[in-house]
Structure 1
Amino acid sequence: MTRLLGPASAALLFLAVNPAQAWQSSPERQLVRTERVTYADLDLSREADAQILLGRIKKAAYRACGGDPRRHPAHTLMPRRTEMAFKDCRQDAIARALGSIDAPVLAQARVQPAGK
């Protein structure tokens, strides 16, 4: 099993950028939320378990980046920009999470859909 930050660690932490600020022209991104994604129960050398972890990471990124962009106040005025900001936030959070785990099968799982 691949572990992060030593043998006692059973969780992956990743940070999401604030999607509400991402629509602004400033290139600065503010880290605003951390979600914990556990994977102690998974064997990351197995593709099926890597897919499970990838699903957990995607769900955590959705939560960390504010959930549904249509519920954000900015969506009324700038729906496309708001949706793009939320999408960028999720992609950045997923990339950060995957970058912090040394598991080649997990990197392949992101590229390939489950069962292929």
Structure 2
Amino acid sequence: MSKILIVAAATLTAVALPLPAAAQAASQPEGVRVSYADLDLSRAEGRATLSGRISRAAAQVCGRSSSWNPVHTLLVSQCLVNARRDAQAQVETAIARAQERASATRLAAR
């Protein structure tokens, strides 16, 4: 079983790229691997740490917004929301598996 999530988002740099390059970038999402092999996702601390890692990975993929360009700021914000949303299904699956394992371990210990 893989202990890595992929945080992906389309590269949203339309304002900075000529139209053909922007269209190509938007159609080819970037991805960042986020490892959680060292985390216990059955515990709140592990889930919080994973959430922070996902946020940092989304920021890495989406880039930073610029205060001088409101369109770019909006695109980056949308990218961040989409990246987190897209990772959520993977996170939920990983948490469910961790909780099942923790539950089975507690039952076996009885």
Q: Deviation per CA, 1:36-78, whole angstroms, max 9, x where unpaired?
A: 1000011111111100000000000000012x222xxxx75xx
Query: Identity over the aligned pairs, expressed in percent?
Result: 28
1:88 matched to 2:78? The reply is yes
Where structure 2 has 5 or more consecutive residues not aligned to the other structure, the ranges are 97-110
Q: With structure 2 as the length reference, what TM-score do the two structures score?
A: 0.68
CA distance in 1, matches of 2:77, 2:28: 15
Where structure 1 has 5 or more consecutive residues not aligned to the other structure, the ranges are 1-6, 105-116
Tell me the amino acid that sits aligned with residue 36 of structure 2.
Y
1:52 matched to 2:49? The reply is yes
What value does the CA root-mean-square deviation take over the aligned residues? 2.5
CA distance in 2, matches of 1:84, 1:98: 21
CA distance in 2, matches of 1:49, 1:35: 19
Tell me the amino acid that sits aligned with residue 14 of structure 2.
Q
Richer in helix (by share):
2
Larger radius of gyration: 2
SS across alignment from 1:88: helix
When residues 21 and 30 of structure 1 are mapped into structure 2, their CA distance, relative to the original with a 3 A threshold, is farther
